[in-house]
Structure 1
Amino acid sequence: MKFNFVKSVLLSVVLLFTTVPTSANEAFDWEPVMDAIIHVESEGNPKAVNGLSCGAMQINPILVKDCNKILKARNSKKRYTLKDRFSVEKSKEMFLLIQSHYNKDNNVEKAIRAWNGGVNYRVKSTNRYYKKVLAAMK
């Protein structure tokens, strides 16, 4: 009986270590959060424009610049253009890049609030947006 317990524990440990992804964001499913943000921001319209923010996720030029700065620091040759904001796929890539840089612990609340209020958001000023996104996720 003891042997089976030890065997079971060892097997669990082996499975745990063989299924651990290379990065925290790789393991986390951001799709429901991104889909809810898309719904709140543009109702899914990839051609939506509101001031300087564009696309389904309403990305502004500052975020594109920040993504490119992160990519450069990671020695990547990839860069985003302002036109990429109109691509849902590339917008999601930018969201994931921002999360991997500023939200390594994959905190959903932090992700939602920062998307609305920037990385130095204020909780009070992002409350309404946060509640809207949570409601869209349900």
Structure 2
Amino acid sequence: MADFNLVRLSSVIPPGAKVQTVTGDEQLVGGHGDLLYCVYAEAHAELPLHEAWAGVAWALADDGSGAGLFVEHEGPAREQVERDLHASLDDLIAGRGGGYHPAGRLVTSAVCETEPVCALVVATYTSQGWA
């Protein structure tokens, strides 16, 4: 992630997409300055013992097309982020008349000990080089 230029997108997952969760070794690698189209949640904590929580949740279309919706939230407590993710996803689904089901979520945190910290969850769509 460190070498990408992030291009933030809204919450719509295109048909044919496949949502996967990956760990550090499996994360997307690109060239220095490449564009990364993504949805992300970022939270910061700058004071000792303060927490930063960030999360992304998603729903997929019931028709199996791979289409779906992302929501992202940040806050100082896990409970708040979880509650906000749930409420936002329910609202997006209801606003479209249904037809989607919750399919997953990823929440992370960081605690400030002495230096500022950032909690970050990124859902990537694709990357693109400049050349």
- Name the TM tier (shorter chain): under 0.3
Higher RCO (C-alpha 8 Å, min separation 6):
2
Name the one with the larger helix percent: 1
Name the one with the larger strand percent: 2
